[in-house]
Each structure stands twice: as structure tokens, then as C-alpha cells.
């Protein structure tokens, strides 16, 4: 399996107004990997270390303590979630645990109807309080940095589309839309050490998917030993994608002082296929006695946003086509059909991934 260095852009150059048309085309155009690295960011290592060490420390707490911070009513979409999410074969995913929260606000609505009917989107945040007071500020500080990167990339996409379509794409359109969305989700992820029975022959490449929302911002993972000392990234794991030009599986690496930005399928659709999302999965390490910690931020549209193609769209068949779609991954076309609003598309996606026979 080969390793690939994705296209990168400099935060400093972006602030100085540099044109990144070439980079965006290379990263998100028809042959792009659907992801880009942002470098030269103001230092965020203190925040990154604090957040990633917090999830490791939380995962090490006794089961009964962690259980206090689970929320079955929202299908475990806030607080701690371990072994609740199922893989496509119906087997619970126990290899990783997640701590979910909305980075924008602890309470995003007072509307009881929304809270009761769409708890996955609107449930209030829950925090481990006295059992682990440092998790909440660590989560909030790191996701704040990630939100800034997400809005920056969205601005970049707006500039790119505006110029590519000779002004047909209204300036600032997607940034405005993204700022209207309040249902963002941060996911602190802890990958437990590989069980001693883990088969060396397994390639660990399961869980292929495409993000379906707006923009995903990822931190470089932190690998820790059993004494919580940082260790170099093992070579047998990490983020893998399907290369859009030949379908080969390539590993994507990210330096610790950079952030990785991926595009969701709904963004691909709303941009009329001018920006592309890519199938990816995280391969877990088979090396014993190490853990992997990371933080993914999913920036989403308002559930009521209308899913429609722009006037500058590429042909429909191109918009909904994902080359080399891994086996078992539901096609975009089937989920977008009949989806009037973003929430319909999100629901179709959830059903296709988790409820399909």
C-alpha cells in the first residue's frame, strides 16, 4: 500500500489573500483526493495534546463511571459511546470509543419538539463534570481552533467557485450557509489497544464510507503506550482512501502541526460536482499495547437547507458518481433521490449505512 502526501495550503498565505485555484482543483476536482492539508497554522499543540490526552484518560475510567455519561435517548450522539455503533455486518464496534458534543453551544435550542423528535441533532451536551473536569475545556478549546479552519476552507471554496463559474456562484454563499448550521458535532475518538487475538492477516480496512455532511476537520492522531507516553505513529494504521483515478488504496499522512480537511457528499452535491468527496476508512493498528486518539469535527448545514443543484452544475450523472466506490458503500444517487431537505438526505444516509439488509 502506498503512502500519499495530499495537497497542502498555507494558512498564512490564505490570510494574505493568495489565490489557491490550482490547489483546490488538484485536491477537490475530478481527479482530486477529496482532502487538503492546512499548514502554517498558529500553534495549537497545547490544545491538541490536552484534548487527545483527555479522551485517553476518559477511556481509561471504570466502565460504571463512563456509563454515567452516555445518552441512549439521543442514540448515543452526545457524551460517551462505546460498543453502541454497529458495523455493517451488525457486529457492535468495540474497537473504538467516542465522546460526542456540539462545539458551538451546550444547548443549541429550547424547542422541546425538536429535542424530542430529533435528539441526535438537538440533544444538549453532557460533560463528565467532577469525574473528569478537564475534558470539557479541552474539547471546547481544540474544536474552536478546528471551527476556524473549517470556516476558512469554506471561504476558500466560495472564492474558488465564484471565479470558476464567472460569478454565477454567489460570493460567500456556502460560508453563510455553514454559519447558519448549528448542529455541528465534535467527536473525540479513542481506539483501544488491539486485542491479543487480533489476526495479523486481517488488513483492518473495514468501515469504508464517505462523510455526508459539509466539511470535516481532523487533527493528527496521538499514539500512546500503556503509560500514556507519546510514541511514533505505527506504520500499519491510519487514514486510507480510494484513489479516484485508479481505485488503489493509499494511506494519507498528516504532520502534527497541520490539519486535514475532507469534504462531505452533500457539499459535493450542492457544488454541482465541482468539489468532490472521497471514500475513506481508518485502519486500526494490530500492534498491541498502544492506543490512538484523535478529534474529528463535522461541520454541518442546517437540517432545513434545501438540497438543490446550482445553475452551474456539472451533468447529474457526474455529480452523483463516486469512482471506485468500495463494496458495500451505498451510492449517493439512491440517498439523494427525493431528499428535499438536508435532513432527508442525512436520514437516508443513516438508514442506508446502518439499517440496510
Nearest CB to Fe ion, comparing residues 211 and 265: 211
Contact 187, 100 (CB under 8 A): yes
> CA neighbours within 13 Å on the CB side: how many for 342?
23
Which DSSP state fits 78? S
Range 53-87 burial, b when 16+ CB lie within 10 A, else e? bbbbbbbebeeeebeebbbeebebbbbbbbebeee
Distances (CA, A) of 356 to 18, 83, 329, 330: 45, 19, 11, 9
Nearest CB to Fe ion, comparing residues 66 and 185: 185
Closest among 239, 238, 231, 240 to 289, alpha carbons compared: 231
CB of 353 to Fe ion, least distance (A): 11
Contact 279, 322 (CB under 8 A): yes
SS3 of residue 272 by DSSP: coil
Which DSSP state fits 184? -
Which DSSP state fits 123? P
Beta bridge partners of 39: 10
Rounded Cα distance between 35 and 26, Å, is 10
Helix (H) or strand (E) holding 347: helix 342-354
Nearest CB to Fe ion, comparing residues 211 and 293: 211
Residues forming contacts to Fe ion in the complex (CB under 5 A) are 211
Helix (H) or strand (E) holding 3: strand 2-4
Report the length, in residues, of the chain.
357
Closest among 332, 185, 187, 346 to 273, alpha carbons compared: 332
CB of 217 to Fe ion, least distance (A): 11
- The residues near 95 (Cβ < 8 Å, ≥ 6 apart) are 191, 192, 284
CB of 280 to Fe ion, least distance (A): 6
On the 0-12 / 13-18 / 19+ scale of CB atoms within 10 A, 277 is buried
CB of 188 to Fe ion, least distance (A): 15
Nearest CB to Fe ion, comparing residues 47 and 211: 211
Nearest CB to Fe ion, comparing residues 95 and 132: 95
CB of 264 to Fe ion, least distance (A): 9
CB of 233 to Fe ion, least distance (A): 18
Q: Which residue is nearest to Fe ion (CB)?
A: 211
Nearest CB to Fe ion, comparing residues 158 and 211: 211
CB of 332 to Fe ion, least distance (A): 15
Nearest CB to Fe ion, comparing residues 152 and 277: 277
Nearest CB to Fe ion, comparing residues 132 and 279: 279
CB of 229 to Fe ion, least distance (A): 28
Rounded Cα distance between 64 and 326, Å, is 38
CB of 261 to Fe ion, least distance (A): 12
Nearest CB to Fe ion, comparing residues 316 and 353: 353
Contact 285, 294 (CB under 8 A): no
Amino acid at each position: 500500500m502506498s503512502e500519499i502526501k495530499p495537497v497542502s495550503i498555507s494558512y498564512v498565505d490564505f490570510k494574505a489573500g493568495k489565490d489557491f485555484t490550482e490547489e483546490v482543483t488538484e485536491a477537490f476536482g475530478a481527479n482530486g483526493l477529496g482532502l487538503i492539508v492546512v499548514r502554517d497554522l498558529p500553534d495549537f499543540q497545547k490544545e491538541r495534546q490536552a484534548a487527545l490526552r483527555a479522551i485517553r484518560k476518559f477511556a481509561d475510567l471504570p466502565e460504571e463511571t463512563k456509563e454515567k455519561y452516555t445518552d441512549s435517548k439521543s442514540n448515543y450522539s452526545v457524551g460517551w459511546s462505546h460498543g453502541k455503533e454497529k458495523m455493517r455486518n451488525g457486529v457492535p464496534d468495540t474497537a473504538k470509543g467516542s465522546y460526542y458534543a456540539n462545539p458551538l453551544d451546550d444547548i443549541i435550542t429550547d424547542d422541546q419538539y425538536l429535542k424530542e423528535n430529533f435528539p441526535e441533532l438537538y440533544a444538549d451536551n453532557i460533560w463528565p463534570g467532577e469525574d473528569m473536569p478537564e475534558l470539557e475545556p479541552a474539547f471546547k478549546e481544540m474544536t474552536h481552533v478546528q471551527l476556524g479552519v473549517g470556516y476558512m476552507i469554506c471561504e476558500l471554496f466560495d472564492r474558488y467557485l465564484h471565479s470558476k463559474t464567472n460569478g454565477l456562484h454567489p460570493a460567500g454563499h456556502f460560508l453563510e450557509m455553514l454559519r447558519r448550521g448549528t448542529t455541528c458535532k465534535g467527536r473525540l475518538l479513542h481506539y483501544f489497544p488491539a486485542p491479543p487475538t487480533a489476526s495479523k492477516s486481517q488488513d483492518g480496512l473495514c468501515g469504508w464510507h464517505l462523510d455526508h455532511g459539509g466539511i470535516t476537520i481532523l487533527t493528527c492522531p496521538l499514539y500512546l503506550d500503556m503509560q500514556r507516553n507519546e510514541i511514533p505513529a505505527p506504520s500499519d494504521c491510519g487514514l486510507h482512501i480510494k484513489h479516484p483515478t485508479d481505485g488503489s488504496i493509499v494511506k494519507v499522512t498528516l504532520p502534527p502541526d497541520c490539519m486535514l480537511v475532507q469534504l462531505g457528499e452533500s457539499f459535493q452535491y450542492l457544488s454541482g460536482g465541482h468539489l468532490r468527496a472521497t471514500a475513506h476508512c481508518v485502519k486500526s493498528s494490530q500492534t498491541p499495547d498502544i492506543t490512538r486518539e484523535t478529534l474529528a469535527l463535522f461541520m454541518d448545514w442546517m437540517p432545513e437547507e434545501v438540497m438543490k443543484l446550482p445553475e452551474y452544475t456539472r451533468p447529474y450523472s457526474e455529480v452523483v458518481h463516486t469512482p471506485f466506490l468500495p463494496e458495500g458503500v451505498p451510492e449517493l444517487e439512491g440517498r439523494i433521490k427525493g431528499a428535499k431537505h438536508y435532513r432527508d438526505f442525512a436520514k437516508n444516509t443513516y438508514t442506508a449505512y446502518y439499517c440496510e439488509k
